[in-house]
Amino acid sequence: MIQFFFEDIDKIEIEANLSNSLENIILSEGKKPGEINYIFCDDEYLLQVNREYLKHDYYTDVITFDYVKGKTISGDIFVSLPRIFDNAQTLSKDFESEFFRVLAHGLLHLCGYKDKTEEEIAEMRSKEDYYLNKR
């Protein structure tokens, strides 16, 4: 089950089929959906999460906490809405596309994809593009 929460930020409208699109990513990766929580917040909130839990002192657009058991995908995915908006402008993309890319990115981490090396980053980006185009 995919749920959406808002912490210290105004709510945005979530399109009706978003959960289905995200669950399709999980199923396409040969996994099963478990409990997945997206927590939408602002930059400062996510910076605090990054500092407190990961000991990183920088802004980011997404942080994923993995509670995966076997093939059942579960986790908490924190997402900075202002960071997505800024990234969309910087990359000349629309907000909706960048929003879905970041949500997919968090899920792909739960499915086992990493993004530490150049090769991993390229694979992650390829998967993001694939699911963005499949929508």
Q: How far is CA 60 from CA 10, 36, 97, in A?
A: 19, 20, 17
- Write out the binding residues: 105, 109, 115
Residue 8 falls in which region: left (phi positive, over 0), alpha (psi -120 to 50) or beta: left
* Closest to 78 in 3D by CA, of 1, 6, 2: 6
- Write out the binding residues for Zn(2+): 105, 109, 115
- Distance, in Å, from the CA atom of 130 to the CA atom of 19, rounded to the nearest integer, reads 17
